[in-house]
Amino acid sequence: MKTVYSENHHRQHGRGELTDGYLMPVVEKPERAEMILARVKAEGLGEVVAPHDFGREPLAAVHDAGYLDFLENAWDAWEAEHGGERDALPLIWPVRTLRQARPENIDGKIGYYAMDAGTPITAGTWQAATTSAKVSLTAASLVHAGAPSAFALGRPPGHHAAADLLGGYCFLNNAAIAAQWLRDQGVPRVAILDVDYHHGNGTQAIFDDRADVFFASIHADPRQEFPYFLGHADETGSGAGEGHTANFPLPWGTEWPAYAEALDAACRRIEDYGPDVLVVSLGVDTFERDPISRFRLSSGEFPRIGARLAGLKRPTVFVMEGGYAVEEIGVNALGVLAAFEG
């Protein structure tokens, strides 16, 4: 399969994220994509191609217009207010008892549009995030044109980003943008399977009330793990989308046997739905030595994920999400992709 890749991801290189009370170096860093690209080449997965431009329309089909304007201008506003020495991070949020109205001041605006203080906005964030969306759209267009599969090797990742919300290292929801674009090309049914260690709260929220995009996610139980406030088993979709969301939360310490059962259950739900195209939110932070995660999949087990996904026999767009064990991220991602190809 072809890999879509652009060097522009380097423009997102945050200096710090608030973690455990400390301002720590970011874990979502450029080396992640470099390691995966090196492995794509070493294993000869296929040609590496550059993304095309799709304009703003496919972004606006998923994200709120006010949010996109904020994201495009946030760094300049931050720099004007605070200088450019530090990344832009929020420190107040419109939680319960506060009013849900957008402030004018940049510090208020960041809190309004962010879900955490771990997702720094930098001078290059807009360019990197929009390129990551283009990478995802280009991979979707390859599959729409008849390729059995394609790999969107982009960063920053996307699955925590909702229509008007950034967080969890995500700004634009690359998988959702690809899925919506496929729908807008006339593809009747799209399924998204999210195998990142964290629940894809943004993707779920975007398609919550829709029957034309099925969302299934296997992740650490939100009672224990980020994003804490979505991803429980009883969230099944709303309105027209009732029954079109399926969550498989698993406890800390989950190993392959329990993971495989959840993967199989998720895949059976997708088989029942019968999508024309499958979008996979591919996180490999389920790895046993991931620095921020607590599942225990070994490198030798990632190919089993790829083999199960191949069993779905659907045109498939892989969109890169998380995975922070930089040394092994390429081996683990390629484990899934190479096994998918068989």
Q: What are phi and psi of 192, to 5 degrees?
A: -115, 125
Please report whether residue 19 would count as binding ligand Q9C according to CB under 6 A. Answer: yes
CA distance 136 to 203: 14
CA distance 185 to 85: 43
Q: What are phi and psi of 123, to 5 degrees?
A: -60, -30
Closest to ligand Q9C by CB, 283 vs 330, is 283
Q: Cβ 228 to ligand Q9C, closest distance in Å?
A: 10
Question: Could you give the C-alpha distances from 58 to 73, 121, 170, 182, in angstroms and in order?
Answer: 19, 22, 17, 10
Q: Cβ 205 to ligand Q9C, closest distance in Å?
A: 15
Closest residue to Zn ion, judged by C-beta, is 322
Placement of tokens 């046993």 in the chain = 288
Q: Which stretch binds Zn ion (CB under 5 A): 102-110, 111-119, 230-238, 283-291?
A: 283-291
Active-site positions read: 160
Q: Cβ 195 to ligand Q9C, closest distance in Å?
A: 11
Q: Where are the beta strands (DSSP E) in 59-202?
A: 149-152, 190-194
Q: Which stretch binds ligand Q9C (CB under 6 A): 61-69, 156-164, 176-184, 216-224?
A: 156-164
* Cβ proximity of 4 and 142 under 8 Å: yes
Please report whether residue 198 would count as binding ligand Q9C according to CB under 6 A. Answer: yes
Choose, by CB under 5 A, the member of 67, 181, 197, 302 that binds Zn ion. 197
Please report whether residue 202 would count as binding ligand Q9C according to CB under 6 A. Answer: no
Q: Which of residues 207-226 bind ligand Q9C (CB under 6 A)?
A: 226
The residues, ordered by sequence, that sit 6+ positions from 272 with a Cβ below 8 Å of its Cβ are: none
Please report whether residue 154 would count as binding ligand Q9C according to CB under 6 A. Answer: no
Please report whether residue 198 would count as binding Zn ion according to CB under 5 A. Answer: yes
Nearest in space to 174 (alpha carbons), one of 200, 209, 211: 200
Q: Which of residues 113-132 bind ligand Q9C (CB under 6 A)?
A: 118
Q: Which residues of this chain interact with ligand Q9C, rule CB under 6 A?
A: 17, 19, 118, 157, 159-160, 168-170, 196, 198, 226, 283, 285, 292, 321-322
